[in-house]
Amino acid sequence: MAAPLTFDAYSVQWLRERALKPRTREGYEHLIRCYLRPLLGPMILGSITPRVVRTWWAKLPADKPTVRARSYALLKAVMNTALADELIDSNPCRIRGGANTPRAREIRPATLEELEVIVESMPDRLRALVLLCAWCALRSGEVLALRRKDVDVATGTVQVVRALSWVGGEPIVGTPKSAAGTRVVSIPPHILPAVAHHLDTMTTPAADALLFPGRDGVSHLQPSTMHRHWRMAREAAGRPDLRVHDLRHTGATMAARAGATLAELQERLGHSSVNAALRYQHAARGRDQEIAAALSAMARTPGH
């Protein structure tokens, strides 16, 4: 008979058998190493009872609610697999709401004026990056993986097929966050000249040339370099709270205000479900008076 598995041994096996994106795998390894293994690692799977889980949960840092939620969710997932493997009789993770993450901070989209200041304050070679993140609602990792051949100025589209992430200080190019993330996004006509200018002056002629490389023109742009310039640009716009990722929220909000439906937002943003796009629909609520006025204008127009 095989010796009973410890949580440590089983978690290693669990990770090895999963097809995870490098960044996700790195995150899981960190949670297991820092928050699950110290108490649960040496324990036999079958000895991890609901009481043990509650004790472990109580010892997690109360000032890190997101870490607690993610650690609990990971433990529950591992133990669910152990249950399916018939290594335990039931899942001991029974803390109500244990995996619920804290409510995300309220994101205030950049105004058009703030966005203009940010673009002007960035180095020439990074201005189109801000424009694509904002007006096309692309993730920064998607933009940083773009090549010349991914952008078609003639049709006014950008093809999103790759995403860049940094794992252990090394650049990893993979697929977008989900299958829905692979998409073609229409570029708003008013920023096409800036995108074309970037291609003409900042990008080498090769089809595989990165749109936003590092200083050597070949390697991937270092996050520290991008964020150094970003911090100065957002300060110039009076928005020290604005993150690069918030440009995506800004673009999604503007698309909602332009009248995009939930399905259209889902497709443009590369979300796997309509629910993920719901958060941007609140932006359309502020247009209710405009809609009411437009309805009255229709009523006053002959033929309506």
Identify the H or E element spanning 18.
none
Contact 245, 237 (CB under 8 A): no
Question: What does the block give as tokens for 104?
Answer: 């995300």
Please say if 35 is a catalytic residue: no
Please say if 10 is a catalytic residue: no
Contact 76, 98 (CB under 8 A): yes
Please say if 18 is a catalytic residue: no
- The active-site residue out of 70, 183, 198, 248 is 248
The Cβ of residue 11 has, within 10 Å, a number of other Cβ atoms equal to 26
Contact 36, 11 (CB under 8 A): yes
Question: What does the block give as tokens for 190?
Answer: 């008013």
231-256 b/e (C-beta count within 10 Å ≥ 16 → b)? eebbeebebeebebebbbbbbbbbbb
Distance of CA 24 to the CA centre of its chain: 12
How many angstroms separate the Cα of 110 from the Cα of each of 116, 243, 246? 10, 10, 8
Contact 284, 257 (CB under 8 A): yes
- The active-site residue out of 33, 231, 245, 282 is 245
Contact 72, 98 (CB under 8 A): yes
Helices (H) and strands (E) in the chain, counts: 15, 5
- The active-site residue out of 139, 147, 239, 282 is 139
Please say if 190 is a catalytic residue: no
Q: Distance between CA 146 and CA 164 in Å, rounded?
A: 9
Question: What does the block give as tokens for 281?
Answer: 């629909």
Backbone angles phi, psi at 45, to 5 degrees: -50, -45
Please say if 245 is a catalytic residue: yes
Identify the H or E element spanning 205.
none
Would you please indicate which residues are annotated as catalytic (active-site) residues?
A: 139, 245, 248, 271, 280
